[in-house]
């Protein structure tokens, strides 16, 4: 039987994270990291809480 490979190729994490940054924060968005994403989410949440209190 012909050998069938299923391993995906190594990818550029840098390129992937730049593309993730763009889809999350727009065409000039910063490069994605989970830490940056979580910080931004925390800021957003705090801002929303402040707005709700007003």
Chain positions contacting another protein, by CB under 8 A:
1-2, 4-9, 11, 15-17, 19-20, 22-29, 32, 34, 37-38, 40-42, 44-45, 48
CB closer to another protein, 5 vs 53: 5
Minimum distance of another protein from residue 24's CB (angstroms): 4
CA–CA separation, 33 vs 52, rounded Å? 29
Minimum distance of another protein from residue 41's CB (angstroms): 6
Within 1-54, residue ranges assigned H as helices are 13-25, 34-53
CA–CA separation, 19 vs 32, rounded Å? 8
């Amino acid at each position: 039987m012909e050998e069938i490979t299923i391993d995906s190729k190594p990818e550029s994490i840098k390129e992937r994270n730049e593309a993730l940054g763009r889809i999350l924060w727009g065409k000039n968005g910063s490069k994605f990291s989970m830490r940056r994403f979580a910080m931004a989410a925390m800021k957003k949440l705090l801002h929303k809480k402040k707005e709700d209190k007003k």
